Amino acid sequence: MSAATAYKTYQSNHFEGMDPRRLILMLYDGALRFLKGAREGALENNPQKRGENLGRAIAIISELQASLNPDMNDEATEFLRGLYGSILAELPTASISNNIKPIEQTERYITQLRKIWAEEVMALPATGTDAVRTTLNQQTEAKPVASPQEQAAKPPTTPQQAPAGYPPQQRPAAPPVPGYGGKGQAVRNYGRGFTA
């Protein structure tokens, strides 16, 4: 196996095991790095630097667009589809005309998306088996175990525990999911639109 093949295999395995939310953050960082290089190339009137960096930024933004979950049709996902499509339609004009306005505008959009992603989505609990295990462990550790007599005297706390004959108006509501709902729901749901 050549060194190049070994490196590619390592990189492939490295990214396959990574948290998908972290991968999206890395794509935003890469896009910003290449957009900066494209802007510098345009300002220096260096078509090669501008073109190479624009091509890489476009490839990353295409990957971000492709990573959107096609089954999601919520507000945030539809917004991202439209935004990425608009960026991908406009950004190539910077290569042809040496116009830096599309580059700067794209930098502003990607910077804002990266900020939202880092603050809102990365702050959410991890997903998958380990996250469920951690959450269950935290819930178990946080609650003292009640005696059977205390449990029988206490009304059910979740709809799943309520017996069939329990009056519906007295059924407790399901607890809210942290990070979802309320003000900024579309932003908080933003990360759920990705399949990566």
pLDDT single digits (tens) 18-48: 788 889 999 999 999 999 999 999 999 999 9
pLDDT top residue among 107 and 189? 107
Q: Give the Cα separation of 117 and 186 in Å (integer).
A: 12
The superfamily (CATH) of domain 9-124+186-193 is Flagellar protein FliS (1.20.120.340)
Of 29, 52, 26, 37, give the one whose Cα is nearest residue 103.
Answer: 37
pLDDT of 17 higher than 60: yes
4-18, 122-136, 167-181: least confidently modelled range: 167-181
The answer to whether 62 touches 88, Cβ cutoff 8 Å, is: yes
Task: Write down the mean pLDDT value for the chain.
Answer: 72
Sign of the four-CA dihedral 129, 135, 137, 140: negative
Residue 71 DSSP label: T
Residue 156 DSSP label: P
What are the structure tokens assigned to 76, written together?
Answer: 């945030």
Give pLDDT tens digits for 49-76. Answer: 999 999 999 999 999 999 988 888 889 8
